[in-house]
Structure formats: C-alpha cells, structure tokens
Structure 1
Amino acid sequence: MAAERRRRGAEGPREARNRPRERGAARGERGGRAALGLVAALGLGLAAAGSLVLLWGRWRAAARAVSPHPAEPALPPGATGPDSAPHRFWGSYRPHVYFGMKTRSPRSVVTGLMWLQQRDGAELRHTCEQSDGLQRYGWVMHDGQSFGLQDIHDRGLLLRTEFVKRPGGRHGGEWSWRVTARQDGGAAGSQAALISLFFYVATDGQGTLRPHLEDGTRLAAVSGTSEELGDFKVTFLRPSTDSGDDVPYCSYHYLDAWSPGLHRLTDVVRSSLSSRFVFTPPDGSRRRFVAVDKFRGLPGAEEAAHSHLLLHQVTLRLPAVVEVTFESGSVRERRGALAGPVLTAELARHQAAFERRFEETFGLEHKGFPAPQRRFAQAALSNMLGGMGHFHGRSLLRSPLHHHPVSFPERSLFTAVPSRSFFPRGFLWDEGFHQLLLARWDPELSREVVAHWLDLMTAEGWIPREQILGDEALAKVPPEFVVQHSDTANPPALLLALQRLLGSAPPSYLRRLFPRLRSWYEWLNTTQSGPLPYTFRWRGRDPDPERFLNPKTLASGLDDYPRASHPSEDERHLDLRCWMALASRVLAEAAERLEEPSEPYRHMERALSDNELLERLHWAHELGAFADFGNHSGAVGLRREVGRATPGRPPPAPRLVRVVHEPPRPRFVSALGYVSLFPLLLRLLRPDSPRLEPLLAAMSDERRLWSPFGLRSLSRDSPMYMQRNTEHDPPYWRGSVWININYLALRALHGYAEQPGPHRERAAKLYRELRHNLIHNLYRQYAESGYLWEHYSDSTGRGQGSHPFTGWSALVVLVMAEDY
C-alpha cells in the first residue's frame, strides 16, 4: 500500500483529467469495501449462528445424556402397585438389613428387627455387615412372594425369622412375623442368656404413626396412615415359650424419635441406648442391661429429620418366641389374627408348598442329590429371592459434556442384589446372571425385573452400570463409585435372561421393551465401536497407567483382568465383540417375534459370528488362543519408589509404581483366561471349528485354566497370574474361580457335547468333570463356612471376597439341575 501511494503522488496532468473517473473509481472502491464489509458481517453472523447451533447441539446432547428415554415405559404405570400386583406389594425388599419388610412404593413405611445380646462386648445388630462376624445367616426358604424362613447364627445365639403374607383388602394384604430366639448349639447355661429384640416401624418422608402404650413402657401397637397403605396397624404380641406359654418375665422399653432418614436408624437407636436399667426377674437374679432411653438427637447431625421411628424393645431370657402382625384397614372380613396356631399352620403349609415347587422346578431329588445338598440348593435360590430389593431415588450421572455430576430424575428399581452385606444394590451385568435363575423359578417376576432395568435408560440408550437409589443404598457405597459415567458401558448380560424369556413372553410385553432394546443396542454399537469394522473397545479404562500394574477395565465387569498394558484407541476387546454378537442374535429374535425388521440384526450377527473374521481379528498364534489386541508390553512390574524428602517435612511414604521394561507395541495381549474363552462361552465357534481343540485343551490343562474347583480366571503361566494390581489392590480376576463364567462354560460345553462334531466327546467329558468339581466345592464351602462366596481360590477352593454372595454364585442351582 505504501508503494501504491507513492505512485499516485508522481502522476502528471493526464491523471488530473481523469479525476472524475477517479472519483467514480473511488466510489466503486468504497462500494467494494462496503460489499466486503457486508460479506464480512454476514460471515460473522453465520459464524455466530454456527456457534449458536453448535452450542445448542452441545446443550441438546448434554441434556439427552441425563434425560429419561422418550419411549413408552417398559413397565406400565402402576404395574408394581397394590392394585396391579397385590401379591408382590409387600416383601422382604430391604436386603441390607438382617430382617425387615417394606412395600414397592417410592416412600414406603418400613419395618425391621434389631437385636442386642446383653453381655460384655456385644454390638447392636441391624444392617448386614461382614465385620459383624456372624457364623452364618441367610434364607433357608423363600418363595419370592408370600413366605420366608431365615436362620441367623450370632455367636451363641440362633435367631429364626419367619414371615407369611395373607391376601385381602386393597393395599397388598396382611402379614405376620415370628422371631424365635434360642441358644445356638444347646450350650450350658442357656436359661441365663439375656437378649433384647427391637421391632420398629418407620416412615420415609410421608405418612403418620401413632403409638399405643400399655403400662407406660410397653409399645403394644402402632397405628398409622400412608398414601399407599391407607390405615394400618402393627401389633407387637407378648413373648411366649416354644410350648406357647407366656414368658415368665420380660422388660419393655420403647423409643419415639425422628431421624434424618432411614439410613440413620441404627445411629438413632444406638445413640439412645443407656446402661442404667436393671433386669429384675422374680427369682431375684438381678443384672444390669442396656435399653433405649430418651432420644436427644444425633451428634453433629445437620440433616433435617423426616423419618418418624417408633421402636418396641423387649428384653428376656432364652428361649423365647415373639410375633408381630400387620393388619390393613381395608380388610373388612378378617378370619382372625394371623398369629399363634393359625400362623404355625400357615407357615407349615407354605413350607411344604415351597419344597414341592422346588422339586417340580429343578428335580434335584429325581437326579439323586441327597437331602443336605438339596437344602443347600434351596438356600441358594432362597437367598437370591430374599435378596430382592425395591429402591427409589436419583442416580448421579456425568457425561463428557458436563463439568459436574447431574441428578437423573427419580426412578424405582426392583432387582436382585449380589451381596446383602457388601453390594446391597443393583448391578447391571450381575442382574443378567441373576435372572437366568429367577426366570426359571418365576418368569413373571423376571420379566418385571428386566422391564425395571430398561426403564432406567437415558435418552441416548445408556443404562448406568451401578444403581445407587435412595439414602440407604448410598450409605453403603464408597464416594468414588457413586457417580456413573455416561460413556461407560457394561456387558449386556441382561439379554441372556431375555433370551430365556422370549419363548413365553407375551407379545405386548416385548412390544413395550423393543424400542428400549433397540436404543441400548444402537448405543453399544456406536459408543463402544473399535478401530476396525466389526471390532469393539470398552471405554472408560483407567487413564492413569502409572498407578496400576495393568489399568483396570471396570466397564467389562472383569475389572483387573489383564488388557493391553497401555490403553489406547487402537484396542480391540474380544469379550465385548462376543457380547455384541449375542445382542445381535437376541434383538433379531425379538424383532422376528414382533414382525419387525430383523435383517440388520441378523447381518450383524452373521458378521460377528464369522469364524474366519474372528480369527483374523483376535487369534493370537503365539498364545494359541483368542486374545485382545492393543498397545501392549509383556514386561511390566511394580517397583517401590522412595519420594524425595522436603526440608522441614517428614519423608513421604514409599509407594509402588509401575515400571515398563519393554516398550509397548501394537500386538495381541499375552493373557490366556476368561476373555480368551468368550467365543466358546457364547457359542460363536462352529462345532467343527479347529480353534475349539486348543481352547478345550487349555480348559482341561491344570497348568493353565483347569483347577479341582472350577476354571480359573487366568492361566497359571500368565505373567499376571495372582499379581497385585497396586499396593492396595489384591488380585481379583487373575486366577480365582468365578461361578458366572463357569456357568457359561458348562452351558457351552453341554451344547457342544450335544452337537455333531470332532470335539463332541471331549466337550462331554470336560463338562461332566467341571460340573462335578463346581458342585462339590461350592457345597463343601457352604457346609464349612455357612455362605456362598463372591469367588473361590483356585488353589484351595476356599471362598473369597464378599459373603454372603448369593448373586451369580447361586447359579450352582441351575448347574445341579443341568438347566441351561
């Protein structure tokens, strides 16, 4: 521009004659500049509009990530209420307490039991805690609907809790409890044992309770009103002996208090206990004991009280029997109280019906199992049914588009739980295995649970993997696991149960489910897609590789199972590919039943079941098995690192950090274990596949996956076998025997043994031996410890992890019945 100005200054008279034109040119130039300005303004406007569109799109995507799915609910409104399902309205739906009942409603009135042995060092019992150290507890019989019998063994005390329901009225009928307390094992001095039983009724934010007192200290009954129950009355009958006579002497106390919520009931009672009371029976053997006194509030509690608690305490010598009745005001023609001999007869009738139904369903006596093993199987099923819970509340969700967690709208969930003591809440992939058993016992119940889970779906088609609904559930969860991340999947194992239910499910039920099933499938197929066509990758692996020997993959359900040592977008996860093959098959079957287009699902099923393509993508020749692929180093370890001391401060504690002795490179992951078996487990391999032989060989090799107690999760010759993942993380899926995967293995082996092929006889032999080992060890461990366990040692067979774990470990019932 400076050179241009210089040229104009040097022009002569000719240029002066051209001034008019020059002015015209200037006007044209100005017009050009105006046009350019207009274009620039339009550009800025379009850019701004584009930014607004992008912002709107981002806002819309963020909203969808935490909004409910727009489809019609899978479960019709009111389906769980007393009008539609009165037989299931009341139940033992509080799995986290040793004994309690509630309704399937959002703000249910709850009832429960606590107890305290009146001796030095005894603790108040209420919620199921592994730290309580009970020798055993659990449901001996439970039909999932109207009846349950549970035995609790607590350091010299045997408590038997029983309940039975009776239909009637408009609010889910009525029920009665019987709690029998006696010295466990007939120890000497049993008549001197003193125990306090605490029976309570509490509200959860709505409803009213009114106490009815006798003699000023005995809470004889509680009457109340709530939205779901109308008018009701809970009566605490006087204790009796086994023979039906009145207990000679009892001491009574009651508590009328308010709590910040149901999750603080134990704290309220514990803070109200006083040791100033004296037990003074007629024989003159006086002794001090602990009882509830006036409630003066919880120390440091800042939460507003909204739960009203009325508690009846009876202190007595053993043995004794106490009964509690619930009567609904809507029952107009009652046949008499469900107590005493009437209750005895009803309990006996339901017990006989349960045993008869159990044999008709599973046929274990017909198969030759002795009575102790049949009782073990009955307890396994009963504990899963007795561990059903009804939860209501909000999940905390977070998507990549949110800076902070967002509350999902309130939802209810009716589900089984893995463990009453450690995991008393819903887990998505666990529930698929739970429903394999429950669908066999009660298909209607199972269909309802599947619908409940699908109704938790977001608008994107995502289902949060862990459901923490309500304050009681939240109180049992470490803070780091509360928030659910919307890019994290979980295996669609629920489709295993749905596949079993498809044949008998009413078309109307499937039609309500199908839009959500389709969204779930599409979400998995897009958000978890891999780097190549027909490959898949679990999102959400731990992003901090320096902390772990091998970064965890919680989304897969297999937690610390070895994956590629250095997480990257190039990973191909074999198990997820196989899950998607199963999902494609089930979606196709459901679509065909509904006469919906099924070819897209069938096409995907054919592609993901293509054995040649599966081999190209996942067969590791050097491993002799299928495997994951990713950026992997086969030489990593943990080394203790001493931090540098800061002047004036104590030196930091040494910590274990990961060291990599060989640079990672794209390769197959050198881990033979459960993931390697997935093409067999979900029966994607043809019966004549040449890859079946090396997999069967690995399964039967004691140096690799075979153990006398079941298939171990990771081969003994793997570098990661039984290796800690961090200083504080012991091995989890790195050698232990897990029952859910062993069940899938037995199901697959049973199928290959029935189909013509070169590996038929070997599959049949392996099936027989594995089934025997699994049943024998689980029964032995149950007889010795009193529990089913989360997983089992591959070297000793001993139960490990949380207990009781009557989630997928209860699949042993189907194994005994050979029901696949």
Structure 2
Amino acid sequence: MVRQRKVAISQHKHANNNETNSSSGGSDTADTSRAFKLLSIWKTGVGFFCLVVAIYVGVLGYLETRVNTPFDDEKAVQETGLMVPDRYWGTYRPGVYFGLKSREPRSPVFGLMWYELGAAHKGIRHWCEQSDNLPTYGWQRHNGFTFGEQHISDPPHQIITSFIKTMGGEHGGHWTARINVTTTNKKPTTVGIIWYGALDESLGPAAPHSRLWVESGALLGHTPQLQNFRVNFVPHTGKVLHTSYSEAVAPGLHLLKEKFYSLLKPSKERYGRLGQLAVLEADPKLTEKGVFANFVPIQMIVETPFILDVVYTTEDLPTPPLKEDEYTKVLEEKKKSFDEEFEENFKLLKKGYSDEDVNIARAAMSNMIGGVGYFYGAGRVQSQYTREPVPYWRAPLYTAVPSRSFFPRGFLWDEGFHGLLIGRWSPEIQLDIAAHWLDLINVEGWIPREQILGVEALARVPKEFVVQSNAAANPPMLLLQLAGLLRARPQLFQHGRYRHLLDRMFPRLQAWYQWFQTTQKGEVPTSYRWRGREDDGLQLNPKTLTSGLDDYPRASHPSDIERHVDLRCWMYAAADAMATIAEVLQRDTSKFEATRDQLGDEALLNELHWSHHTQTYADYGLHTDGVKLVRQQPKAPNESPKVVRSVTVPPKPRFVTSAFGYVSLFPMLLMVLKPDSDKLGKILEDLDKPELLWSPFGLRSLSKASPLYMRRNTEHDPAYWRGQVWLNVNFLALRALRHYAAAGPHATRARDLHARLRDALVGNVLSEYKRTGYLWEQYSAEDGRGSGCKPFTGWTALIVLIMADEY
C-alpha cells in the first residue's frame, strides 16, 4: 500500500511536470511567433525603405541625365559634310578676319594674319576685335555658296580678301583665296602676311590620321575625309622680300596667334632698309617622340601693292583651280551676277534708292551670310537635379552670328530674326540652319539659348555666361520664322526634300512648343513667367536675360506671382505658328488653334495685363519704383565699398506701369489684338508721342518718362534696353503696322506710322554706316549714333528687308 502510494505520488508529480513543461513550451512558441512577425515587419519595412531609396536614387539619376539626353527621334539634319558639296567649304570661321574651313567636325582650318613692319604697337591682326579699332571691315558681297569679297580698312592699308570655289570631285572641290593689299597714299609699305593651316586639337590628336607639313614651299595635308590636299602660294603683284615657315604644335585654335608669336625669332641676316626680320623657326616640341604638327604658319614679308592667291587643290579633281587673270575675270562675273540677283530679290534700285544706299544694303546682307559659321563641340548645362554643370552632347551647329567681333557664336532668339533675311536670299540655307538648331533639343524639349561650341568660341565668353540652365527659355522667334516662310512660299513644302525636312522638324518643334507650355506657365491660368530672374541685391532692377530684353525693367522684386505680357504674346504667336506648320503637314491643328484662340481672347489678356490707371499693357509682380543705387560703407578696413540697391518704398503686388516701352507694345507687335480693338488705338496713339517712345531715329526701348530711362543697372552695367533703338523690335513694329494698315478703324494711323517709322530707321542706319563704316548693335534715341558692339550684322541687317518693304 505504502509502495503503491509512492508510485501514485510519483506518477502525479510526473504528470504535473509534464503539464508544466507543456505550458512552458506553448509560451515559447507564442514568443517566437511574435518575434518572427516583428522581424518580418522590420525586414519588410527596411526592404520597403530600401526600395523607396532605390527608386528615389533611380529617379534622381534619371532626372539628372535628362538635361543632356538628346531628343529621341529622327534627326532633322540628314545631309551633312560632303553630302552638301556646294556648301562644303566656306568662310565658316566668322570670328577671324578671314578664314576658311569645311562643314566637318575634324576639318582643317585655314586663316590669315597680318601686321605692319615698323608698327609693332598695332600688333598682329587675326581675330575680329573691337579693340583693333579698324575704320571698317566686312563682306561687300557673299552668296553663301561659291564666292565672297570682303574689304578691310587698316590704315594705311586697304585689304581686299575674296574666295571662289570650283565644284567637282569627291572631296569638296577646289578653292582659291585672294589677299590684295594696297595703301591709301599709294606709297609702298612693308607688311607681314601669314597664311596658316591648323587642325583642331580639341577633337583629339592630329596623328596618325590627319597631318600637316610643308614641302617645296607648299602646305600639304591629309585627313580621312579629304585624303591628300595641297595649298600653293601664287604671288603675282608686288615683291616678296622674305619667306619663312614653321611646323608647330599649338595648344588649340584659340591660341594660334600666341603660338605664332612664340615661333618668331630675329633672323641672322639683314634685309637692307628693313634690318633684321622676325622669322619663323621650328617648334622644339616636334623633337618629342610621337608629336606631330597641328599648326603650319607660312610668313611672307612683302612690299605693297601686293596680291597673293592661295590655291587649295585635292588629288581627285583634274580641273585646275583659278588663279591670277582667270581668277580676276571669274570674280568680276560673280560680282555682277550677285548684284543682279540681289536686285531681283529686293528691288531696291527700282524703289529709288541710290547706288551708295544699295551698296550698303548689299554689304548688310552679305555680312549676315558671311557671318554664318560651322561649329562643333559640347556646351555646359545644368538643371536643378545636377549638383554641377555637365557637358551637353557633342554636336555640330551651322548658324549665323550676331557680331563677328563680340558675339561670334550662336544665339537662339537672334537666329529667329537672322532667318527672316537669310530665307529671303536662300531658303535652303535658312532651313539648314533651323534644322541644326532643332537637333540641339534635349529629351525635355529644351534648346540651350546660347551655343558655345569649340575652343575658339569658349575663349571669348565670360565665365558667368558659359553654363546654360534648362529652366531658361528664349523667345520662340525661330518658330515664327519657319511659319513665315511656309506662308510666303508654300510651294516649297508641297513635296520633295523640303517637305521631308519639315516632317522631320515637326516632332522637335512640337516638343519645344510643349516645353514652353509646361515650364513657363504662371500661377494664374493663361499667364506666363520668364524663369531665371535673380535678385542679388546689386541690380537696380534684376535682369531677365531669358526674355532677350536683358535689363528692360520688370517687377523690382522677382517672385512666382509675376506675369509677363511679352511671353504671353510670344506663346500666342507660337501657337499660331504651330497651327500653320501642322496645317501644311496635314497634321491635327486643333490643340494649337485652341491655345491660340484662348490667348487671343482680348478680355482674358486685359484681365491679366491691362492697367486701367495708365491705359497701358504691363507686367504684373511684386514691385516698387522706390529703388536706387547707393555706395555701401565697407565693413572691413581693406574691403572695397560696394554699390548696392537700396529700397526706399516697400514693394507690393501691382502692375509695372512705370516701365512703358517695348514690353507694353507686345500685344500689337505680335498682332494679338484685333484690328478694331480700342486698346490698339491707344497703343498707336502712345507710339506717336516723342515724350514716350517715338524718336527721329526709331522707337526707343523705354519711355523717356520711365524712372529707369537710360539708368545704369549696376555700378558697372550701363543701360542696355532702357531707351536705345533696337532694329529687331522696330522690325516687328513695322510688320505689325503694315498688318493693321490693311483694315479697321486704325488703318490710317497705322499706315502713317509705318511710313514715318520706316523712313526714320532707314535714314539713320544708312547715315551711321556712311559716317562710321558699320552697322551697330543699337542706336541712340537722342542723336541716332550707333552704340554697343560693331559690326553688328545680326538683326540690324534686317534694314535690308525694311528698305524692301518685306516683312
């Protein structure tokens, strides 16, 4: 019994132990389950976080690359290089006084330098420089295809440079360049003439595929595109006193003159009255292994009068190039043919202009055509998603330039005006230029507004203007230009190569147009705002470079509430242009027409931009007229005092009515207003007031009544668009006045204003050319004198169309 009881107790304890163990095991399982769930949630959270980070980094990386990713569609330019033989060689280096190259990225370049012996202080002429202070220079005739003739005045010397191309063969044909040097006083002088060949080292080393060297007095070369070529020198008037040459290594095209200087050494011989000459010696760098010449200058010391023919030939073309008397004969024939074609196009003699005035018009147009360059390289761009500027893709650009001396590169809105004149002379050149610009569009639909391609272009641009922001627009004048050509010459686009070109352009034009609509919209529906305005505290009124009107007064304090009337009008005109292009291509026009009609609604326009107080159109923004420049006391003993802006009256949201000027005219300039609009009548009335915009020399950019009229914007920035007369906007005014003169209650006043404005502009531009030898960037509204840079044969050359009454 006792034993049984012990067993029973033992069994009971065992059961209790099992029960305890069982309870303990259940608790452990639950804890493990909870831990597993927590771990799973944590892992899921971490995974999700990593995924979000990865997506964010991926999206950010994608956004970073968009700014320099090309637009993904068929390129507009398909015929390049030797596929366009009649424009393969040309004067495509507008930044030098005389130079030739081909439309190839790796083209050899040729050019002229000169200097007067005994006048070392004048230096060597090479790049077109404002500081050279030449009385005049520029093309007198240039057809954009086969020949050109240029006059350069560098007292006591008169230099005529010309070229003629001989077509044929598989490598771009032959050409002859002539340099004719005389003196104004007919007395012989001694001049150093340098003709050089060079290879662009920024595109990679010259050897082994490209070479330059001298043999038997000729410049020889080889490139993969041209194969073997030869440049002979044929002097046939005057004396050659000495010749020397060098084969050298230059660091780049932008330093050719400096390299030339370094190669000049005093000669060991004496040359009569000239004494010792500076002659060219070999470059010691060529003794290094694997180093080949990329720069070959040939110097001739000559006595004037002197004529030199530089004759370029290739091996594949048996036709001999032109030289000496034959060249002279062909040049005269081409000049006569050019003059006849110019008169047929513009009919200026028929309109009663004098021979002298027609010569100026011919020079204006020739300088526009002769200012067309071929550039290749990659600009620098930046977006809000890139920490540092990044390179754009390498690309070619065939474009006219505003000024050979000051702006020898491409500008987007300038090119819109250039094409109006170029297209009147050659639609083929105009369309090719437009196509090259459109091939620079990125995947966002953005085109950088300033193109700085190649080392020569980069060397002439201030550092602060090199990087282009993808938030920055520029007026879409190129769109208006293309639509204008379609309206004027629709037969060109009915079929054939121009039709195919326009088809390739259209997706790019559409992307560009949509980029404007997406990125430049304002906060209020149907309003638009130029991006890129920054208040650094130093400017009297922060610039709006993107508008093309630079320092034209806007709202004093940049903000997101701004509404810019000129941009709104540009978008109306852009929608109208897109509708025209789409219609010619038989595409859907409805969305463009809908936008055009909405932006053309005068009631909406007036609601956003019409000031009932001043009865003018105006920008809107955070503004005060109570601003002035003051000199700030330095904070440290060695610190220079700064001139900064002082605000005496706080800004508030309002119309910028004190800045009456070009911007106020845009509803008329771009013909947004209907011919019977009362607002149009008020604009025309104000246009005719001398105390506002009217001057004897054209419409001034800002009213004399404006508080910022001709005021400096900073200590170092003189007035730019604050009163001067600009030809491009005056051209738009004439075009609009011609339009409004056709019908409506204001037709008589518009017709009268058109006639008087045209006469004022033509009279002053021609008068200033006769006085100074140049077309200018802008003209004073006070005395008509040219100002800014010169020569400015960009949109100022539109004077030819104004003389011809062609808009």
| TM exceeding 0.5 | yes
Q: Does the CA contact (< 8 Å) of 1:629 and 1:668 recur in 2?
A: yes
Q: Within 5 A, what are the aligned runs for 1:335-354?
A: 336-354=320-338
Matched, 1:308 2:294: yes
**Further displaced range: 499-508 or 471-480:** 499-508
Q: Does the CA contact (< 8 Å) of 2:540 and 2:629 recur in 1?
A: yes
Q: Deviations over 1:50-84 (max 9, x none)?
A: 222222112112111111111110111xx1221x2
Aligned match for 2:628, one of 637, 647, 654: 637
1:216 matched residue in structure 2: none
Residue 667 of structure 1 aligns with an amino acid whose one-letter code is R
Q: Within 5 A, what are the aligned runs for 1:559-708?
A: 559-646=550-637, 650=638, 652-669=639-656, 670-708=658-696
1:507 matched residue in structure 2: 499
Q: Does the CA contact (< 8 Å) of 1:268 and 1:295 recur in 2?
A: no
Question: How much does 1:25 deviate?
Answer: 8.8
2:774 matched residue in structure 1: 787
Aligned match for 1:327, one of 304, 307, 313: 313
Residue 688 of structure 1 aligns with an amino acid whose one-letter code is D
Instruction: Give the distance between the partners of 1:71 and 1:328, measured in 2 at CA.
Output: 37
Instruction: Give the distance between the partners of 1:195 and 1:603, measured in 2 at CA.
Output: 66
**Further displaced range: 197-206 or 155-164:** 197-206
Q: Deviations over 1:389-446 (max 9, x none)?
A: 0000111111111111111121000000000001000000100000010011000110
2:413 matched residue in structure 1: 429
Instruction: Give the distance between the partners of 2:443 and 2:673, measured in 1 at CA.
Output: 35
2:232 matched residue in structure 1: 235
Aligned match for 2:213, one of 206, 210, 215: 210
- The secondary structure found in structure 2 opposite 1:266 is helix
- The secondary structure found in structure 2 opposite 1:177 is strand
Aligned match for 2:250, one of 259, 272, 286: 259
1:492 matched residue in structure 2: 476
1:769 matched residue in structure 2: 756
Question: How much does 1:290 deviate?
Answer: 3.5
Matched, 1:399 2:383: yes
Instruction: Give the distance between the partners of 2:293 and 2:381, measured in 1 at CA.
Output: 27
- The secondary structure found in structure 2 opposite 1:806 is coil
Q: Deviations over 1:239-293 (max 9, x none)?
A: 233xxxxx3552111122111111111111122223547663xxx6454444334
1:221 matched residue in structure 2: 218
Q: Does the CA contact (< 8 Å) of 2:175 and 2:321 recur in 1?
A: no
Instruction: Give the distance between the partners of 2:258 and 2:723, measured in 1 at CA.
Output: 40
Question: How much does 1:36 deviate?
Answer: 5.3
Q: Deviations over 1:182-229 (max 9, x none)?
A: 112x36xx12x111111111122441123123xxxxxx2112211221
Question: How much does 1:318 deviate?
Answer: 1.3
Q: Does the CA contact (< 8 Å) of 2:239 and 2:303 recur in 1?
A: no
Residue 670 of structure 2 aligns with an amino acid whose one-letter code is L
Matched, 1:48 2:50: yes
Aligned match for 2:59, one of 42, 57, 71: 57
- The secondary structure found in structure 2 opposite 1:741 is helix
Instruction: Give the distance between the partners of 1:202 and 1:429, measured in 2 at CA.
Output: 32
Q: Does the CA contact (< 8 Å) of 2:247 and 2:293 recur in 1?
A: no
Aligned match for 1:726, one of 714, 731, 748: 714
1:460 matched residue in structure 2: 444
Instruction: Give the distance between the partners of 1:703 and 1:381, measured in 2 at CA.
Output: 34
Q: Relative to 1, partners in 2 of residues 1:137 and 1:44: Cα closer, same or farther, differing over 3 Å?
A: same
Instruction: Give the distance between the partners of 1:309 and 1:605, measured in 2 at CA.
Output: 55
Residue 693 of structure 2 aligns with an amino acid whose one-letter code is L
Q: Does the CA contact (< 8 Å) of 2:675 and 2:746 recur in 1?
A: yes
Instruction: Give the distance between the partners of 2:701 and 2:28, measured in 1 at CA.
Output: 83
Residue 92 of structure 1 aligns with an amino acid whose one-letter code is T
Residue 537 of structure 1 aligns with an amino acid whose one-letter code is R
Residue 101 of structure 1 aligns with an amino acid whose one-letter code is L
Q: Relative to 1, partners in 2 of residues 1:277 and 1:420: Cα closer, same or farther, differing over 3 Å?
A: farther
Instruction: Give the distance between the partners of 1:476 and 1:591, measured in 2 at CA.
Output: 39
Question: How much does 1:44 deviate?
Answer: 3.5
- The secondary structure found in structure 1 opposite 2:605 is helix
Q: Does the CA contact (< 8 Å) of 2:633 and 2:642 recur in 1?
A: yes
Q: Does the CA contact (< 8 Å) of 1:387 and 1:416 recur in 2?
A: yes
Q: Deviations over 1:594-641 (max 9, x none)?
A: 222221111111111111100001112223211111111121111111
Matched, 1:73 2:75: yes
Instruction: Give the distance between the partners of 1:249 and 1:66, measured in 2 at CA.
Output: 52
Residue 231 of structure 1 aligns with an amino acid whose one-letter code is N
Instruction: Give the distance between the partners of 1:224 and 1:606, measured in 2 at CA.
Output: 60
Instruction: Give the distance between the partners of 1:297 and 1:789, measured in 2 at CA.
Output: 44
Instruction: Give the distance between the partners of 2:415 and 2:592, measured in 1 at CA.
Output: 24
Residue 159 of structure 1 aligns with an amino acid whose one-letter code is I
Q: Relative to 1, partners in 2 of residues 1:417 and 1:200: Cα closer, same or farther, differing over 3 Å?
A: same
Q: Percent identity?
A: 45
Instruction: Give the distance between the partners of 1:18 and 1:709, measured in 2 at CA.
Output: 110
User: Structure 1 unaligned runs (5+)?
Assistant: 1-16, 214-219, 242-246, 299-303
- Structure 2 length as normaliser, TM-score? 0.92
Residue 433 of structure 2 aligns with an amino acid whose one-letter code is V
Q: Relative to 1, partners in 2 of residues 1:306 and 1:653: Cα closer, same or farther, differing over 3 Å?
A: farther
Q: Within 5 A, what are the aligned runs for 1:77-226?
A: 79-82=79-82, 84-120=83-119, 121-184=121-184, 186=185, 190-191=187-188, 193-205=189-201, 206=206, 207-213=210-216, 220-226=217-223
Residue 84 of structure 2 aligns with an amino acid whose one-letter code is A
Question: How much does 1:556 deviate?
Answer: 0.7
Instruction: Give the distance between the partners of 1:286 and 1:71, measured in 2 at CA.
Output: 63
Give the alignment's Cα RMSD to 1 decimal.
2.1
Q: Relative to 1, partners in 2 of residues 1:488 and 1:176: Cα closer, same or farther, differing over 3 Å?
A: same
Q: Does the CA contact (< 8 Å) of 1:427 and 1:465 recur in 2?
A: yes
Instruction: Give the distance between the partners of 2:469 and 2:333, measured in 1 at CA.
Output: 48
2:747 matched residue in structure 1: 760
Question: How much does 1:358 deviate?
Answer: 0.2
Q: Relative to 1, partners in 2 of residues 1:70 and 1:329: Cα closer, same or farther, differing over 3 Å?
A: same
* Number of residue pairs matched by the alignment: 770
Matched, 1:529 2:516: no
Q: Relative to 1, partners in 2 of residues 1:305 and 1:808: Cα closer, same or farther, differing over 3 Å?
A: farther
Instruction: Give the distance between the partners of 2:783 and 2:42, measured in 1 at CA.
Output: 77
Residue 107 of structure 1 aligns with an amino acid whose one-letter code is R
Matched, 1:268 2:259: yes
Residue 749 of structure 1 aligns with an amino acid whose one-letter code is L
2:16 matched residue in structure 1: none
Q: Deviations over 1:684-721 (max 9, x none)?
A: 00001110122112211110001111100000000111
Residue 155 of structure 2 aligns with an amino acid whose one-letter code is R
Residue 67 of structure 2 aligns with an amino acid whose one-letter code is A
Q: Does the CA contact (< 8 Å) of 2:377 and 2:394 recur in 1?
A: yes
Q: Does the CA contact (< 8 Å) of 1:437 and 1:811 recur in 2?
A: yes
- The secondary structure found in structure 2 opposite 1:257 is coil
Q: Does the CA contact (< 8 Å) of 1:261 and 1:306 recur in 2?
A: no
Question: How much does 1:311 deviate?
Answer: 1.7
- The secondary structure found in structure 1 opposite 2:81 is coil
Q: Deviations over 1:648-695 (max 9, x none)?
A: xx3x22221111111111111131011111111110000011101221
Q: Deviations over 1:771-819 (max 9, x none)?
A: 0000000001111111111111111111111110000000000000111
Instruction: Give the distance between the partners of 2:396 and 2:613, measured in 1 at CA.
Output: 49
Matched, 1:736 2:724: yes
Q: Deviations over 1:289-345 (max 9, x none)?
A: 4433444579xxxxx98761222211122111111111121103x1x3410111011
Instruction: Give the distance between the partners of 1:616 and 1:21, measured in 2 at CA.
Output: 81
Question: How much does 1:455 deviate?
Answer: 0.3
Aligned match for 1:382, one of 333, 357, 366: 366
**Further displaced range: 636-645 or 553-562:** 636-645
Question: How much does 1:34 deviate?
Answer: 4.8
Matched, 1:356 2:344: no
Q: Relative to 1, partners in 2 of residues 1:690 and 1:19: Cα closer, same or farther, differing over 3 Å?
A: farther
